[in-house]
A and B are shown apart, each in its own frame.
Chain A
Amino acid sequence: AQKITQTQPGMFVQEKEAVTLDCTYDTSDPSYGLFWYKQPSSGEMIFLIYQGSYDQQNATEGRYSLNFQKARKSANLVISASQLGDSAMYFCAMRESTNFGNEKLTFGTGTRLTIIP
């Protein structure tokens, strides 16, 4: 069963507008972490923002904020005042514990965001 779902394969947004990228997750673990990464065409994965399952407030980091709705199991990324440089692939990921005592990230399928000038 897919644990991280990103339902928007692609989005086109006008420059300077705000954009919301959807992410829903599924876990029975009470302790988990949610991450958003950006992957430009160059390939590197850039960490954007983190939300812990016990965090009471939504995470914010500059123009990025995370709309965390725990009961709905959603962790949407909001980018305010979008810029051309925001065009990239965006991945939502969840950190879980494994049977071996490790932790691992499970990634969604990603959303390709294109900012239109």
Chain B
Amino acid sequence: GAVVSQHPSRVICKSGTSVKIECRSLDFQATTMFWYRQFPKKSLMLMATSNEGSKATYEQGVEKDKFLINHASLTLSTLTVTSAHPEDSSFYICSARGGQWGTQYFGPGTRLTVL
């Protein structure tokens, strides 16, 4: 149980285009999902907390208009990187909160490369 999928696993795009990443909880409902960014050999950095049916809460320094988050259902949250630039290249990983301790279960991650 507690499986989270993420799609796509890898994406390469041109500078200026927008990229959408989907995060789904497959066998449980998640009112809260999280989006992280991870640079090579670094720890996870929380970007935003996504609550179903309400606006996402962004961490300090994360641009709301650049990283659009939508949590339209209890099993799906999306992150759209708008007008992507090479500095947005990174590993993006989502998680969904569930289980008895409010454990965050993570998706497999999406590696974004912006040319």
Binding site for B on A (CB under 8 A): 33, 35, 37, 42-47, 50, 52, 91, 95, 98, 100, 102-110
Contacts and interface: CB of A to CB of B under 8 A. Distances in A.
B108 A110 contact: no
B57 A103 contact: no
Contacts of A98: 49, 57
Contacts of B91: 43
B34 A107 contact: no
A97 B110 CA distance: 27
19 contacts: A35-B103, A35-B104, A37-B106, A43-B93, A43-B111, A44-B109, A45-B95, A45-B106, A47-B2, A91-B43, A98-B57, A100-B57, A102-B49, A102-B51, A103-B102, A104-B34, A104-B49, A105-B34, A108-B43
B46 A43 contact: no
B106 A44 contact: yes
B78 interface: no
A46 B108 CA distance: 9
Contacts of A100: 49, 57
Main secondary structure of the interface of B (DSSP, over half): strand
A33 B103 CA distance: 9
Interface of B: 2, 32, 34, 42-44, 46, 49, 51, 57, 91, 93, 95, 97, 101-109, 111
Contacts of A91: 43-44
A71 B48 CA distance: 32
A42 B108 contact: yes
A48 to B, nearest CB: 10
A1 to B, nearest CB: 15
B106 to A, nearest CB: 4
A109 B44 CA distance: 8
Contacts of A52: 101
Nearest to B42: A109
Given A44-B108, A47-B103, A50-B101, A104 B46 contact: yes
A107 B43 contact: yes
Nearest to A109: B43
A41 to B, nearest CB: 12
